[in-house]
Structure 1
Amino acid sequence: MKKLLMALLFAPAIALASGAAVHLDKAPDVQGDNAALQSGAKTFINYCLNCHGASYVRYNTLTRLGLTEQQIKDNLLFTADKIGEQMRVAARPAEQKAWFGVTPPDLSLIARSRASEDGSGADWIYTYLRSFYVDEKRPTGWNNTIFENVGMPHILWQLQGVQVLNEDHHLEIAVPGLQSPAEFDKTVADLVGFMVWAAEPEAGYRKQLGYGVLAFLLVLFGFAYKMKKNYWKDIK
């Protein structure tokens, strides 16, 4: 019973890729764009952190995105007392279990774990968060085109507006939201980008280090080749 409730609660946290393949939109790559990642962190903390934690990330880690500790304390430190604490969920686990029947999963590694044969985890989440539509048959009043009968409500509906399925089974905006479609896509792209970054904050440094090592090996190879030629020049 608990496994069933977990499956219905939040699609990206589990790999339920059975059935027909779905089309996934390509998530924009915002890695390296600190302004976009800061925007994504703000959206995550204001909307996602109410139910889902990111316990592998500490608030002071956000300084790597160009934020000062004071900015974090003043604008983002809502679920902890000290900046060195984890980005834990705002609601208590016992309360969540009473509400949903199970505690919502942690999202620290969701962008890495939700990859499928149809695309990356980022592509899946990016498409998922933009694919909610009104469904009065569902307990929450919402459904999703790429995860049928999802139990999670559309937490970003005020920004996106209200979507419905038309006669051709395509999504269309019935009631506009606070953002235009382009603005909402950017908000979701930044949010997904932050989730990708949160899954491995050291990824950028690791890649830079890798390039540095390859450059060093290339230079070393040049010196080694010249030494080899000089050593063997008198030997025929």
Structure 2
Amino acid sequence: MKKFIASVMFALSASLMVVANTASANEEGVELEHADVDIHNQASLQRGVKYFVNYCMGCHSLNFSRYNRVAKDLGLTDEQVTKNLIFTRDANGDLEKAGSLMKNGISQKDAAEWFGAPPPDLTLVGRSQTDWIYSYLKAFYVDPTRPMGVNNTVFPNVGMPHVLWDLQGQQEKECVKEGEGGHAVEHCELKLVKPGSMTPAEYDQTARDITNFLAYVGEPSKLSRKTYGVFTLLFLGLFAVVAYFLKKEYWKDVH
């Protein structure tokens, strides 16, 4: 029970950290791009889980999600999940099962030492911060002054390396000042100086797919809750009709 409470508190603190970073980005005048996610796009979710597991899950876990739940919702078989998505092992050294939680193998202590802070669990951050996540994944640029050699316009001085650099390529931040003295305004933009394996449009879609997957993981019930709502309203409507005629039958002798 203590471990469960600790896990919940850790996930909540991670969500609050992202919210704080979002507010900080907005205060600094960083305009977030609209992610335009659609969790009913199964192909996008399948691409998103592939990129998340291969590039992000080495550090970030999804401690409140299970592989088999993701497989069911995304139209994947347990065999496909085991062969393509599960890379961690249990305490006995055996490969995790399809019903396991989506944990990673990184030590929190080592991660804190390497990155300055342990990477947060990302199960819940996609519930309300999709624009932030999408913009963040596109906002890395080369900065030799940083320990990882990169910085981020959405999350300044971030300790995370740009794990998707081979897909996006390398960007540089170029700033121009307009005006003079105290009225000078600095405008900055990111320019691609070294292309990656994807075109800018392809990388934008990849960032959107990862964001879409995190939006789904944050609240999987979104896939079906509207359908349940429609059937519930239909049932209540039918019940209201039956109740009305039943009421008339019971009270006809009184009136």
Q: TM-score interval w.r.t. the shorter chain?
A: 0.7 to 0.9
AA aligned to 1:103 is P
Q: Establish whether residue 87 from structure 1 lines up as the match of residue 92 from structure 2.
A: no
Match of 1:4 in 2: none
How big is the shift at 1:235? Answer: 9.8
Aligned match for 1:189, one of 208, 211, 215: 208
Root-mean-square deviation (CA, aligned residues, Å) is 2.6
AA aligned to 1:106 is D
Q: Are the counterparts in 2 of residues 10 and 151 from structure 1 also a CA contact under 8 Å? A: no
Q: Establish whether residue 207 from structure 1 lines up as the match of residue 226 from structure 2.
A: yes
Match of 2:160 in 1: 152
Q: State which structure, 1 or 2, has the greater radius of gyration over its C-alpha atoms.
A: 2
- Cα gap change, 1:12/1:192 in structure 2, threshold over 3 Å: closer, same or farther? farther
Q: Name whichever of 58-67 and 211-220 sits farther off.
A: 211-220
Q: What is the percentage of aligned positions where both structures have the same residue?
A: 44
Aligned match for 1:52, one of 45, 51, 60: 60
Q: TM-score w.r.t. structure 1 length?
A: 0.83
Residues 94-143 of structure 1: CA deviation (Å, up to 9, x unaligned): 3223323432111111112xxxxxxx401110011111111111111111
Q: Establish whether residue 137 from structure 1 lines up as the match of residue 152 from structure 2.
A: no
Match of 1:62 in 2: 70
How big is the shift at 1:27? Answer: 0.8
For residues 84 and 161 of structure 2, the distance between their equivalents in structure 1, rounded to whole angstroms, comes to 26
Consecutive unaligned residues of structure 1, counting only runs of 5 or more, are 1-8, 113-119
AA aligned to 2:20 is A
- Cα gap change, 1:228/1:52 in structure 2, threshold over 3 Å: closer, same or farther? same
Q: Establish whether residue 219 from structure 1 lines up as the match of residue 228 from structure 2.
A: no
- Cα gap change, 1:197/1:26 in structure 2, threshold over 3 Å: closer, same or farther? same
Match of 1:97 in 2: 112
For residues 199 and 75 of structure 1, the distance between their equivalents in structure 2, rounded to whole angstroms, comes to 22
Look up the SS of the partner of 1:50 in the other structure.
Answer: coil
Q: How many residues align?
A: 221
For residues 126 and 129 of structure 2, the distance between their equivalents in structure 1, rounded to whole angstroms, comes to 5
Q: Are the counterparts in 2 of residues 56 and 108 from structure 1 also a CA contact under 8 Å? A: yes
AA aligned to 2:82 is K
Consecutive unaligned residues of structure 2, counting only runs of 5 or more, are 1-13, 90-94, 177-187
Q: TM-score w.r.t. structure 2 length?
A: 0.77
How big is the shift at 1:177? Answer: 0.9
